[in-house]
Amino acid sequence: MSDLSMQDLDHVIKLSHLEISPSRKDMYLKKLQQVLGYMDQLKRLNVDDVKPSSHAINQSTRLREDVVVPQPDLPLELNAPQWEAHSFRVPKILG
C-alpha cells in the first residue's frame, strides 16, 4: 500500500477541481492507495529483456494505394451566397 495521506488526497481533489463529500473521501483514499500500490508492484518488475511496443498486439497497418480518383464536377456556385472567379466570396472579418 502507498503512504498517501488525507492531505494528499485533498490536494489532488483541489487540483482536479472535484467536489467529493467528506463521507466518500475515505473510500477514494483507499482506492487511490490501491492504484498506487499496483504501480509500486509494476516498478519492481524486471523489464530489461522486454522490447518496447506501441500496441498490445502485433498488427501491421493495412494501407491502400494512394490513387487519384477523378471527382465529378460539382456546381458549387449554386450553393454559394456570393461566387466570384471560381471562389466563394465571404465578408471581411478582420481589419
Fold (CATH) for 6-44:
Histone, subunit A (1.10.20)
The pLDDT assigned to 27 comes to: 95
Helix (H, G, I), strand (E, B) or coil at 43: helix
Q: Kindly report, residue by residue over 12-53, the tens digit of the pLDDT.
A: 999 999 999 999 999 999 999 999 999 999 999 998 988 887
What are the residue boundaries of the structural domains of the chain, listed by start?
Answer: 6-44
Q: What is the mean pLDDT of the chain?
A: 86
CA–CA gap between residue 35 and residue 59 (Å, rounded): 30
Q: Is the model's pTM score more than 0.85?
A: no
CA–CA gap between residue 28 and residue 12 (Å, rounded): 11
88 confidence band (pLDDT: 50, 70, 90): confident
Question: ∠ CA 84-85-89 to the nearest 5 degrees?
Answer: 30
